[in-house]
Chain A
Amino acid sequence: DQQVKQNSPSLSVQEGRISILNCDYTNSMFDYFLWYKKYPAEGPTFLISISSIKDKNEDGRFTVFLNKSAKHLSLHIVPSQPGDSAVYFCAALADRGSTLGRLYFGRGTQLTVWP
């Protein structure tokens, strides 16, 4: 049973516009949420994270929003650039309990930014 879900396998956006990637989770024990970016033939790289006590975190063109009541988070990329084309993974972890430190990943969303 997937605890982190990314229901859109792909997203296509024109350069300069906003990309919005969505993620839902089921485990209310998660304390941190993260986004990773992955290019072909490379390992994932950390992009941005947010603590469960916050509802927004911003880093340059990337902003993550967290809605705890809806168990939903989203990643906004503004403006989108062709170099942003990659697979984006949503992940979550708990900082207590038997699953301490374990990252749970969604299945990923392939973002394509076209000129």
Chain B
Amino acid sequence: NAGVTQTPKFQVLKTGQSMTLQCAQDMNHNSMYWYRQDPGMGLRLIYYSASEGTTDKGEVPNGYNVSRLNKREFSLRLESAAPSQTSVYFCASTRSPLNTEAFFGQGTRLTVV
């Protein structure tokens, strides 16, 4: 069972470069999320998609854009990477916005130099 798959697992970017983090789930979940985890900060919500066709900002959306390509895929784009975006990024999905059990991917460790 793949669950939630994130690519890439590791990435190093130079300041100003752009990139897209990919996320796909095979559980037929409606809702998908992007979080970032920084040391001592827990997980903070960047963007989420309650259902296919909708996206909303979370706590820390600045510097990011998202696309809910279809029900399975939810991508996160950094248009112009900054060192402050160095973090571990997690994608997650839930059956519905009210479902309490979120399934997480293994994370993408991004370093911006």
Contacts and interface: CB of A to CB of B under 8 A. Distances in A.
A36 B42 CA distance: 11
Interface string A63-86: 000000000000000000000000
Nearest to B94: A101
A35 B94 CA distance: 15
Most B-side CB within 10 Å, residue of A36, A43, A102: A43
Interface stretch (B14-22, B61-69, B73-81, B102-110): B102-110
A83 B59 CA distance: 32
Nearest to A102: B45
A32 B33 CA distance: 18
Nearest to B56: A102
A100 B111 CA distance: 32
Given A34-B100, A101-B97, A103-B33, A43 B4 contact: yes
Interface size band for B:
20 to 34
A44 B100 contact: no
Given A43-B4, A49-B100, A108-B42, A102 B90 contact: no
Contacts of B44: 105
A41 B107 CA distance: 8
Interface in A1-54: 4, 6, 9, 32, 34, 36, 41-46, 49
A49 B113 CA distance: 39
B98 A101 contact: yes
Interface of A: 4, 6, 9, 32, 34, 36, 41-46, 49, 89, 93, 95, 100-108
